Chains A and B, each alone.
Chain A
Amino acid sequence: MMATPLSSMLLVLTASFVGSFGAVFLKSGANRMRFNLWHLLRNYRLALGVGLFLLSSYFFVLGMRRGELSVLYPMVSLGYVWTMIWSRMFFGEPLTRNKFAGLFLILLGIAFIGMGAAR
């Protein structure tokens, strides 16, 4: 078993953080979306969302090159936590018990899969 370098953890954390803002901009763009080519082209929020996702996957690929999946997978899934916070902050979405419970189970599940994914 090789240890997980700090640089890999930081890259993956950065990926999760950048990706969560990708989701915020996609949502913000979707809220304003109209099915009209001109409007879609001018919808810079959607473009920014896609751009942030691409940037996030770049950091993700760099981070996943070294280290253990059992450490890195749970860090990737922190993106879901950030996104839940931003959903509340930027869109005023309610944080319900079901959302917390669902998110907790999903994070736990991803941690399990990371443990099972031998490298």
Chain B
Amino acid sequence: MASFGGRVEARIKLTRRQSVGITVLCTLLGAAGQVLIKLGAVQLGASTSPLAMVSNPLLFGGYVLYGLMTGLFVFALRDEELSILYPIIALTYVWVSGLSVWLFRESFNLPKALGVVTIVAGVSVLGRDGTR
């Protein structure tokens, strides 16, 4: 079994742009997952039954999105440096801040706006790193 297809090392390498793009997609999935988990938690209310936590469709959907996000992130990590991709996950804060205002009527204020702009600037500086 071990030698089955063992020498097939040739494969498509992702460019930095592609790996960064996949990571940005991960942050969108992660933000959607967080929203579903929040909605599920609201639906559960005070219930702490483990069965309810596993069987709630919203929570379940949130976990599935987290799983997808992790799988995609591993895929992006294959060809790119961890020190570039990992901080990009912070974009999740940006999407969640926006979604929370839209879906949960949370306030949007000056510090949040500054935070969103600063994180986006940081991610674009990282994505432009010119080491190769």
Complex: chain B residue closest to A79, CB-CB: B86
Q: What number of A residues sit within 8 Å (CB to CB) of B?
A: 46
A88/B122 in contact, CB under 8 A:
no
Nearest-neighbor residue (CB-CB) of B110 within chain A:
A116
A102 touching B87 in the complex, CB below 8 Å, given contacts A27-B82, A96-B131, A113-B115: yes
Closest to B93 in A: A113
Report Cα–Cα, A29/B5, bound state, in Å.
20
Give Cα A57–Cα B89 distance, bound, in whole angstroms. Answer: 15
Pick from B97, B125, B131: contact of A102, CB below 8 A: B125
Contact in complex: A93, B81 (CB < 8 Å):
yes
What sequence of 0s and 1s flags, for each residue 39-53 of chain B, a beta carbon within 8 Å of any chain A beta carbon? 000000000000000
Number of A-B residue pairs having CB atoms within 8 Å of each other in the complex = 134
Q: How far is the CB of B105 from chain A (nearest CB, A)?
A: 13
Find chain B residues with CB under 8 A from A93 CB. Answer: 81-83
Q: Mark B74-113, 1 if CB is under 8 A from A, else 0.
A: 1101100111101100100100010000000011111111
0/1 string, A84-119, CB within 8 A of B gives 1: 101110010111101101111111111111111110
A109 contacts B116, C-beta separation under 8 Å? yes
Binding site for A on B (CB under 8 A): 1, 5, 70, 73-75, 77-78, 81-84, 86-87, 90, 93, 97, 106-131
Chain A residues packing against B (C-beta within 8 Å): 23-24, 26-27, 29-31, 33, 36, 38, 46, 49-50, 53, 77, 80, 83-84, 86-88, 91, 93-96, 98-99, 101-118
